[in-house]
Chain A
Amino acid sequence: MDHGNSADVLLRVQDLRTYFYTYQGIVQAVNGAAFSIYRGEITGLVGESGSGKSVTALSILQLVGPPGKIIGGEVLVGERNLLALGQAEMQNIRGREISMIFQEPRLALNPVFPVGDQIARVLRLREGISKREARQRAIDMLRSVEIPDPERRVRAYPHELSGGMCQRVMIAMAMGANPKMLIADEPTTGLDVTVQALVLDLIRERVRSARTACLFITHDLGIVAELCDRIVIMYAGRVVEHGTVEDIFCSPCHPYTQGLIESTLRVDIEKPIATIPGVVPDAIRLPSGCAFHPRCPFAEALCREEEPAMVSAGDNHFARCHIVSNRISKKMRKEVWTSPVTLEAGE
């Protein structure tokens, strides 16, 4: 499905399906997601609420708990399918080959232990070194993520550190084992924008210098444009478009992508406020055909009946839309997003 240079592919997700069995029905959180992560690149996984991006990341590491269940698909690293591994083997992979950092760093750290102890414990579990050595390594790791006065901070409790600093501690713990891939699930959402800039710089610097692949999950297109090399866009549990960051921003091929780009407000340019009409669909009762069709200004009858297949829209640029596969003759236009109610017929 993905025709990138397969020598550089570190991890490939194929037809991933993760459903949640709740009292209201079956939530199809991830419904056939497929994309590749390349070595040394930062891949942005973009989507809004209900897109399934977080669940996808958790599924890769088999961290989905009940009532969720991974019911299909493969996550291939080389020849190995991670989803076929048992918990003991996954435990070896988590934190070693693939690390993850989360959205609320203070909540991810244990509140009753100092951060130095927590880092040291992870190191001792992973590498079996002595307590003293682990404590020294912890101080070094804090220094490497630019935490000032690391000798003192190593004894601090999570609630004594600010959000930005806790996130740095998480990054230190995650990068400490030199993983092949880092998954970052909205690590800067909730941080102040000045702090966010510094944390993003840190992630970029550590990931590039270690040539670690990175899957960066976010809903913020600004971060994606500044940080990522490739983008994967998800909507209602499916990948709707993926490609390089330049391709996606300059010539988006899926209406949702275009709508998203147009509705993102900027500080440097003033433009009319744009929006995507309607609401994100209920994951229990997804629309028929293309999940985006109720909100799409370019939708036609075919979109309601048949779900589009992922087709090529350029060099290593793919989109899941009937327009791209030339099944319908409409063309996308930027202007419709600013006044979605008044849409000319035809064209």
Chain B
Amino acid sequence: MLAEAFVRVQHLRKDFQIRTGLFSRAILRAVDDVSLDIPKGTTLGLVGESGCGKTTVGRCILRLIEPTSGQIWLDDKEVSQLQSDELQRIRARMQMVFQDPGASLTPRMTIGALLREPLDLHTDLTAHQKETRVRELLQLVGLQPDHLKRYPHQVSGGQQQRIGIARAIATYPDLVVLDEPTSALDVSIRGQILKLLMRLQEEMGLTYLFISHDLSVIKHTCEQIAVMYLGRIAEIGRTDEIFNDPRHPYTRALLSAVPIPDPQQRGKMRLKLPGEVPSAVNVPPGCPLYPRCPFHCDECLEPGPPLFPVSPTHKVACILLRSDHFPQEEAEILDSSLVANQH
């Protein structure tokens, strides 16, 4: 892609077995053939709404959930098949920052103990060295040493997330998966955490997988974006490509649905997607967006669609890309009721 891939995911698939009745079961395909490449030191944004599988992808990469099939590479090590001791060791190199900072910190443990734990588990440092390192970590994320003795519920949400970040970088990891790190925080302090993450990435050469449903945050933090829908990648490309030239109908609907904080822009045209995201149980073959897509046609029901390249870095999973006939203007849309003009 942009450069040599440092983190590489190939054909990742995750199925869940769920009960649909007293005696019947079904397969829920949460992740369906997802492939990603993240160059070292960059951020890939994984965007989608509920049920798209983005959180599952993150957890599969870290082996918090076992993938059903597929391969995951971290640098030169193949992570998806590692077991016990080796898996334990590789955890030092890939960590996660969670969505709800308060809930991700063990309530009865002091902040100092929480930060010391990764060092206890993965390093051979002496107690004194660990103490020093813990203080360094606090400073790196902008907290005071007197926080060490406190409990997580005694500090604010933003501070809790800083602790979560400090814990994640304690062992100098290579990859950090950020699972909606700012969604649970107030708008006014999101910037603090985002700036902290950007600074740490630069200073420590971290590679990020940034999972979020918030496109505005993704726009300002990622070099590369993958849009997911019902377990599949709908579109993937550089940030400027996705925002300036979105091709997949879902991406376009998603972008136009985000409200813009500017009253002058009321009444803009918007692409409406009727209905809601369907369940990922027993998904029929063909494009998952078919029932809701304003541009759908019979060919969309054929198995696939694969990712068609628009440019070397920009790929779209929509068969309308195959022909050059792709309605660029909203006026060309077949079903005009699906275009909303707000007032």
Contact = CB atoms under 8 A, between A and B. Distances in A.
A193 B257 contact: yes
Contact of A225 (B192, B262, B270, B277): B262
Interface residues of B, number: 44
Interface stretch (B57-65, B108-116, B183-191, B315-323): B183-191
Most buried by A among B187, B198, B266, B277: B187
Interface string A128-139: 000000000000
Contact of B273 (A148, A194, A264, A279): A194
Interface in B172-231: 186-192, 194-195, 198, 213-217, 219-220
Most buried by A among B220, B275, B276: B276
Interface string A259-274: 1110111111011011
B82 interface: no
B50 interface: yes
Contacts of A246: 263
B259 A276 contact: no
B183 to A, nearest CB: 10
Contacts of B186: 48-49, 219, 280
B335 to A, nearest CB: 15
A177 interface: no
Given A198-B272, A246-B263, A49 B219 contact: no
Most buried by A among B158, B186, B255: B186
A193 B198 CA distance: 26
Contacts of B194: 273
B190 A221 contact: no
B103 interface: no
Interface in B230-280: 243, 253-255, 257-263, 265-266, 270, 272-273, 275-277
B340 interface: yes
Contacts of B198: 273
Interface in B70-98: none
A94 B2 CA distance: 58
B189 A193 contact: no
A277 B259 contact: no
B159 interface: yes
B311 interface: no
Most buried by A among B253, B259, B272: B259
A274 B187 CA distance: 10
B246 to A, nearest CB: 11
Contact of B187 (A195, A227, A264, A270): A264
Contact of B189 (A195, A196, A200, A279): A279
Nearest to B184: A49
Given A49-B186, A265-B220, A273-B194, A192 B261 contact: no
Nearest to A265: B216
Most buried by B among A148, A198, A201, A273: A273
Question: Chain A, interface size: which category?
Answer: 35 or more
Contacts of B191: 263, 273-276
A7 to B, nearest CB: 25
A249 B260 contact: no
A302 interface: no
B308 to A, nearest CB: 23
Contacts of B217: 265
A222 interface: yes
Interface in A249-293: 249, 259-261, 263-268, 270-271, 273-277, 279-280
Interface in A210-252: 219-227, 245-246, 249
A197 interface: yes
B132 interface: no
A221 B187 contact: yes
B33 interface: no
Nearest to B216: A265
Most buried by A among B189, B254, B270: B189
Nearest to A219: B187
Q: Which 10 pairs between the two chains have the least Cβ-Cβ distance?
A: A275-B191, A222-B259, A192-B49, A265-B216, A276-B188, A221-B261, A48-B186, A197-B257, A279-B156, A222-B261
Given A225-B263, A270-B219, A275-B191, 13 more contacts: A196-B259, A222-B258, A246-B263, A261-B261, A263-B187, A263-B191, A265-B190, A265-B217, A266-B216, A268-B265, A276-B191, A280-B156, A280-B186
19 contacts: A192-B213, A193-B258, A196-B257, A197-B270, A197-B272, A221-B187, A222-B260, A246-B263, A249-B262, A260-B187, A260-B188, A264-B216, A267-B255, A268-B265, A270-B220, A273-B191, A273-B195, A273-B198, A279-B156
Interface of A: 48-49, 148, 162, 164-165, 192-198, 200-201, 204, 219-227, 245-246, 249, 259-261, 263-268, 270-271, 273-277, 279-280
Interface of B: 49-50, 156-159, 186-192, 194-195, 198, 213-217, 219-220, 243, 253-255, 257-263, 265-266, 270, 272-273, 275-277, 340, 342
